[in-house]
């Protein structure tokens, strides 16, 4: 039998994460300790209250039917969360849509709004799911480079007029993955003005909004005047509440845009397991207590890893939030070769920067997914790195 993949499958390149895991496993099998800072999967368990609700609801014999969409209670919990946390008022019926994790929503988003050949403004580097969705829709990405000179924020003024007028959608992610740049109101005001001028839909990926280490509340694009008229925000319970495996997230924002996404999703799935929705409600209703405790832990991890990497002489993107450290290493070496050599020599697992786009050349991403003592050990291991035989120091 001649089995051939569709032509569309050519847009999906093999993920490097399996190769990184295999290299780490080989190092561990040889008797060495491994410090995995690759995947941004929370290492901490969900709060006990969340786990208890999930357990109790899963035992109920009435919990196993199709759900079709988010429950009224879940949508109301999201609306209450936004009102409490960022003082944004949302209509639970028309301005909130549950998704099966943020990646599902992100990949399907361009399909709902873009025709073949439409331009989508996205960042370089950027989260890999953005490109997947753009290419599935047959749209064309235009990359807004994230550079140190611009504070790792997209330079909207650098987008050519002819590109801006043709663009259909802009995807932002602040604080981001892999670059944990923090948003500010002035930047979001520019985004709203840009959207109005060029008739561009804005999608802000707020998956890391609760990972802020100064200030009083998370940042939300929807707090910007006019944001509800031009866009949406997607948020996930994966990071903020350690619920990565449950795959539960939501889109909020412009009612007409939400309606279009709702129509698409009604043809794709039958909703999220009701006990997971109940666990999500518990998480959202107790967000202040849960995220405050989580944030204290991650703030300490962030401080330790940031300082440790800088002490090695690496250049680190300034950040005061997010779940990652974005670091430029001082060696003249391909980032993928570098990442595997680091595993071989030290057991520290990072992600090569070019996985997230060409602007990631010379960088690696390190995730804050180990406790402080493990992070300190990882930094000590990185101090032993010796690349004289396979790379030249940039400054030599």
Per-block average pLDDT, block size 10, for the chain (396 residues)?
A: 91 87 96 95 94 97 94 98 97 98 96 97 96 96 96 96 98 96 94 98 97 88 98 96 96 98 95 97 97 94 97 94 96 96 97 97 97 97 84 46
How many Å apart are CA 276 and CA 58, to the nearest integer? 8
What Rg value do the Cα atoms of the chain yield, rounded?
Answer: 21
The reported pLDDT for the residue numbered 394 is 46
SS (H, E, C) 348-396: EECEEHHHHCHHHCCEEEEECCCCHHHHHHHHHHHHCCCCCCCCEECCC
H-helix or E-strand containing 263?
helix 255-265
The pTM score is 0.94
The reported pLDDT for the residue numbered 14 is 79
Domain ranges of the chain: 10-45+289-385, 48-286
- Asked if the 48-286 domain carries CATH number 3.40.640.10, the reply is yes
Is residue 205 within 8 A of residue 175, CB to CB? The reply is no
The reported pLDDT for the residue numbered 165 is 97
Q: Among the CATH numbers 3.40.50.970, 3.40.630.40, 3.90.1150.10, 3.30.413.10, which is that of 10-45+289-385?
A: 3.90.1150.10
Alpha-carbon distance values, 113 to 168, 208, 264 (Å): 8, 24, 10
149-188 residues labelled b (16+ CB within 10 A) or e (exposed)? eeebbbebeebeeeebeebbbbbbbbbbbbbbbbbeeebb
The reported pLDDT for the residue numbered 12 is 84
């Amino acid at each position: 039998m001649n089995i051939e993949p569709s032509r569309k499958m050519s847009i999906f390149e093999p993920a490097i994460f399996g190769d990184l895991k295999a290299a780490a496993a080989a190092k561990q099998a040889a008797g060495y300790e491994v410090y995995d800072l690759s995947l941004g999967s929370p290492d901490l368990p969900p709060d006990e209250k969340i786990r208890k609700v999930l357990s109790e609801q899963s035992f109920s014999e009435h919990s196993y039917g199709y759900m079709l969409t988010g429950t009224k209670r879940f949508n109301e919990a999201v609306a209450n969360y936004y009102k409490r946390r960022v003082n944004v008022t949302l209509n639970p019926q028309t301005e909130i849509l549950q998704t099966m994790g943020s990646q599902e929503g992100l990949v399907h988003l361009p399909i709902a709004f873009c025709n073949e050949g439409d331009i989508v403004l996205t960042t370089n580097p950027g989260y890999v799911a953005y490109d997947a969705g753009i290419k599935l829709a047959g749209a064309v990405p235009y990359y807004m480079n994230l550079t140190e000179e611009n504070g790792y924020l997209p330079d909207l003024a650098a987008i050519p007029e002819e590109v801006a007028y043709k663009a259909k959608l802009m995807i932002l992610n602040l604080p981001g993955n892999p670059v944990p740049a923090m948003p500010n109101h002035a930047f979001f005001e520019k985004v709203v003005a840009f959207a109005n001028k060029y008739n561009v839909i804005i999608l802000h990926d707020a998956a890391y909004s609760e990972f802020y280490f100064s200030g009083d509340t998370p940042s939300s694009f929807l707090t910007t005047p006019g944001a509800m008229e031009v866009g949406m925000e997607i948020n996930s319970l994966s990071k903020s509440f350690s619920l990565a495996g449950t795959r539960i997230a939501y889109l909020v924002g412009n009612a007409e845009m939400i309606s279009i996404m709702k129509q698409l999703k009604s043809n794709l799935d039958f909703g999220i397991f009701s006990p997971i929705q109940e666990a999500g409600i518990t998480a959202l209703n107790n967000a202040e207590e849960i995220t405050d405790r989580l944030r204290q832990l991650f703030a300490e991890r962030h401080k330790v890893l940031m300082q440790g990497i800088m002490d090695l002489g690496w250049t680190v993107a300034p950040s005061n939030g997010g779940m990652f450290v974005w670091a430029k290493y001082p060696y003249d070496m391909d980032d993928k070769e570098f990442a595997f050599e680091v595993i071989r020599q030290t057991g520290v697992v990072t992600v090569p920067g070019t996985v997230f786009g060409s602007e990631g050349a010379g960088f690696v991403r390190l995730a804050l997914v180990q406790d402080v003592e493990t992070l300190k050990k990882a930094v000590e291991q990185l101090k032993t790195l010796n690349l004289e035989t396979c790379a030249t120091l940039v400054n030599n």
